[in-house]
Structure 1
Amino acid sequence: MKSTWLAGCLLAVCLAAGPAAADRDCTVPLADWQPRDVLQKKLEAEGWTVLSIRSDDGCYKVRATNGQGARLRAKYNPASLERIRHGRDDNDDD
């Protein structure tokens, strides 16, 4: 019984650490970052209207709208400009 409880706790800790591990994709030295305007031009070419680009946890955090006017949020690796996370901005809390 004790080993089942321990295994359950270990699983819970691993699952909780998963989202935090995703931000480790943005451990790029500042010297290797591409300029924000390069990311903005890339997103505009994809049909986004960029509202803001800021650095957050070592990533670029973007707020934008798409061609249909939907508000979007995404995180990008600042060196490769590869999208790490993407979602709709249904609330305006931060």
Structure 2
Amino acid sequence: MKPVLLALAIGYAVMGSALAGERCAVPLKDWQPRESLQRKLESEGWKVRSIRSGDGCYQAHAIDADGQSVEVYFDPRTFDLVAKSD
């Protein structure tokens, strides 16, 4: 990968994490189970590789319904999409 493209990719990943951290200020007691997020995504045609907690959000690594490999952040209370890094 060319250095410029690598720098851009790293920048987008960091920016996605920063955006997620700003938007996911949900108390732990209000989080839905990660298994519920996995079921939701799979019902929408996603292939979930992993879901973990990161920056106050759920961070999922998956293949979306369009076949794209994605890293996405979801609000743990509502499962709304907060940030996406391709």
TM-score (norm 2): 0.72
Identity of aligned residues (%): 44
Shift of 1:48: 0.5
Shift of 1:23: 2.2
TM-score (norm 1): 0.66
Q: CA RMSD in A?
A: 1.8
Q: Higher Cα Rg: structure 1 or 2?
A: 1
Shift of 1:67: 4.4
Partner Cα distance (2:20, 2:34) in 1 = 21
Partner Cα distance (1:68, 1:46) in 2 = 10
| Structural mapping, 1:1-94, within 5 Å | 20=18, 23-67=21-65, 69-88=67-86
Partner Cα distance (2:83, 2:67) in 1 = 19
Q: Number of residues paired by the alignment?
A: 70
Partner Cα distance (1:59, 1:30) in 2 = 10
- Structure 2 SS opposite 1:47: coil
Shift of 1:68: 5.1
